[in-house]
Amino acid sequence: MSNTIIELQHVSKQYGDTEVLKDINIEIEQGKFYTLLGPSGSGKTTILRAIAGFLDPTKGDVLFNGQRINDIPANERKVNTVFQDYALFPHLNVFENVAYGLRVQKIAKADIETRVDAALKMVRLNGLADREISELSGGQQQRVAIARAIVLEPEVLLLDEPLSALDAKLRKDMQYELRELQQRLGITFLFVTHDQEEALALSDEIFVMNDGEVQQSGTPVDIYDEPVNHFVADFIGESNIVAGHMVQDYLVEFNGKQFECADAGMRPNESVEVVLRPEDLDITALGGGKVTVDVDTQLFRGDYYEIVAYDDAKNEWLIHSTNPAKDGERVDLTFDPEDIHVMRLNESEEDFDARLESYEGE
């Protein structure tokens, strides 16, 4: 049986001449933590709004438990949104903010009390029910906003950059809390962020967005290890992206040399891009490695040295090395065949998945 709770089928949204969502097809399963990740203006909030019922797609369907909900008003959808600015009522105390939605639904007074208490306990705010909103810290306000949404027992919680107003330390604490809360509640979270580290840390599945399109969807590990294109490789984590061509299956040429790799299914001689993550590179004495570079700068980062170096073609290389180097020193880079990730130019996610399937497990 399918666990799909929300599905977007060929959803587009146009404002005037601008298409801000282009043929979005996503499936969201029950009980998982999903993230829409992408730069500002990529369409993340527009997707949330289409699911919440705050805007009509120009084309396409939004499905909830298999039923088309395009025409169902926002207040009848089984989703709730936690907004970036929390949108709390400043004149109501914590309890009344959380109780608000239940009062609108005309729930019995005794039930309201039980449910608000339970929601406040869930976000660890029991004891602060009588506080005014202005007397709360940013993190506490954030928790009130979450309590106000979960008290309505939505099947899906939409969270639009809910941590962006918090300082770095509190943001990290709240990341742990959010992840833990999602697991405890077992409801589906769809979280929006432009912070790739946050997305990698929190999510079961990520949709990487750019320019109104989903570039890639998958687990954080899939997206990090097997980026489908230049945008994803560049946006998620740090990457060295080098132009090259495929000699044959499992053999790629870049930097004037041929290297064994774990990729296949391209045309012989096809132009490709090669991704090497900084943490997969190390330095060794000249003659002992695979690519020769001149060290430009080096920073000690505690558990590794961050080195910037240039090869003879003046390509920049970022290396997280366990060994220190000297400025201006000429060294070799070492890496393993499985650390080379080869990308076709302009390959769709569908074609990429099909190609991977055709040779993986051979």
Ligand X SMILES: Nc1ncnc2c1ncn2[C@@H]1O[C@H](COP(=O)(O)OP(=O)(O)OP(=O)(O)O)[C@@H](O)[C@H]1O
Residue ranges binding ligand X (CB under 6 A): 15, 20, 38, 40-46, 194
| Residue 27 and residue 199 in contact, taking contact as beta carbons nearer than 8 Å | no
Q: Which amino acid is at 256?
A: G
Min CB(24)–ligand X separation in Å: 11
Min CB(202)–ligand X separation in Å: 16
Which of 41/289 has CB closer to ligand X? 41
Q: Which residues, 6+ apart, have CB-to-CB distance to 16 below 8 Å? A: none
Min CB(200)–ligand X separation in Å: 17
Which of 115/194 has CB closer to ligand X? 194
Spatial separation of the C-alpha atoms in residues 142 and 120, rounded to whole Å: 12
Which of 45/240 has CB closer to ligand X? 45
What are 157's strand-pairing partners? 80, 189
Min CB(243)–ligand X separation in Å: 29
Min CB(215)–ligand X separation in Å: 13
Which of 42/255 has CB closer to ligand X? 42
Which of 83/250 has CB closer to ligand X? 83
Which of 214/283 has CB closer to ligand X? 214
Min CB(41)–ligand X separation in Å: 4
Spatial separation of the C-alpha atoms in residues 154 and 188, rounded to whole Å: 9
Locus of tokens 């201006």: 328
Which of 28/209 has CB closer to ligand X? 209
What are 188's strand-pairing partners? 156
Rg value, the chain, Cα: 24
Min CB(13)–ligand X separation in Å: 8
Task: Write 172-175 long-range contacts (CB < 8 A, 24+).
Answer: 173/139, 174/139, 174/142, 175/201, 175/202
Strand order in the sheet with 240-248: 257-260, 251-254, 240-248, 271-276, 341-344
Running DSSP on this structure, what letter comes out for residue 72?
S
Min CB(236)–ligand X separation in Å: 16
Locus of tokens 């997206």: 223
Distance linking the first and last C-alpha atoms of the chain = 30
What are 317's strand-pairing partners? 309
| Residue 117 and residue 108 in contact, taking contact as beta carbons nearer than 8 Å | no
Which of 38/278 has CB closer to ligand X? 38
